[in-house]
Structure 1
């Protein structure tokens, strides 16, 4: 069976779903690989390297003949409709926001696997694309902050005087947040961090950061190591307790996210007014509503404060900004998942395997991911009710 890889059609997306190294792995497993020409160029992977690894290069992928389509971004309706019944897709699916696409997979008989749904268990770590891409994003956020911050990060003692270290605050201590802590520490900053999850304190300390304890009575842990959404009164209390830490920071990195929900608002416009002029905030969650009021994905915003301004950086496509290594990790995640489904050169998903079953969005004409199936049904009911009301 053949693994097909296109150049990603989304503007600004530089990653690619296969690299020469993952191509070689597919061939070792008895599969073949077809790559659209220039698919990897934006990520730094040349066509000649794919050919050397054993891939077949074509001017365009014939979707109607695809066995397996490996992709980065969620597929659009036209692509899904062009795939033959029985085809397999593996990539990010964004099921919470792409209900029409998931329904299209089922309608066209396509078997779709979503990388967001990989179970967070030890056996699936090598397939965990959320973790690998968050690692990239957390690192990049600190670099973006450093380029805009008008001071040094580390302590310097010079003949002309002492320069104190930058005070960096990281809000959200998942994979991206922990990587941001580690990166800021390497640059010499004084780093503190906060997260609502119970296990976060030890993780922050392991990275060399100081954990901030807020009096919120209880942690907010959800399944899979994620945080759950706080009730309105606790969210207000959280912001109240965070305000002095926000005011004290020179640089803030926000990474808090709740799967399938808008990003929690951690910093309000009024909290920004307490910050020092020249401070920088990098909001990794800007694409899902933002942890910071006023953050816009892909843009820098300047907010006037007493004596000057604070810069808010709304991150967009963060892993794509470091496309070479992001693709290297992502392609390996995809190859490992496909490898788990490969038996003697044939893709044969075993739905008794918890990893394969957990990652499956649609198969044999049905939406297999129950929360997404319920959301699709609810959306259909709502649409029918709205139509009937008219």
Structure 2
């Protein structure tokens, strides 16, 4: 009796349990009013020249950047963010297969590289195209812009924070210690490396090199361990190495922070800020991002992500960004009391934009006592 492998099925053998199936037309299975069709049509009409320029070469048998853009946007529309889950959806979901247009499903690494290396540099340009598309279709007013924001917590560790204030304090203290140390080396070893009373990193490296040369000339033996007495030169070299390493670390931390006041070691783009959800009720700072949204006629026309811990400093950069990329200069700007500041009022007035910013004391002024005071003053 012939045995058949039921795991590796041989379709050339006619059996009752298995039969060959022809490919189905996926287009027939998707409703005419499905959002996936609208998404595909909009992306097909977009100019993706900048996106294609981020590639050095595109293989003919691989998924095109246009198709990758479609599946990434559609995945986000359906709350699918993991590159591995997007890969699985491309293999099982007919809507994703429709967007691929018969091409093979990309693997998760291709999707991850597309989002970080290719899509991220041109995302503002693509968003501006969509906003202009809405403007051309008269779907938005181009006059009233409603702005609001939210803070999204990062997946970074909450206890890996680095503060700029602490770094600057430790750095200034260390520079004072370095000045005393360099002066001591001049007195103990007669080595002078500093001129005009300015200490720089290359001065410390030069001093380290001369100390090592001096240790070789004097045949100094470096010792380690308990009960062994270190020479004066060895102590100076070890201490100088610590200063140089700490100076490198502080310089690197300040470079990573840039204009931010803090960053997380496990997510260097995140900034520590207070969140609305405070379960411990102790004002704990968490690594997060401040995401701003601009809405016009119920469409999100612009989005920005920044490190600002408060909304006050986000308004001006947000308005400048949307005007730069889309060319829209909204005549009316509406926002809540979190955006109220003298600087924002002056900017909107100079830019000839009418502001509708809720005042921070609006709720207080509605109380009975404050109303009575205001009436008395009017009288």
Q: Which has the higher helix share?
A: 2
Which structure's CA Rg is the greater one? 2
TM-score (norm 2): 0.24
**Which structure has more RCO (C-alpha within 8 Å, separation ≥ 6)?**
1
TM-score (norm 1): 0.24
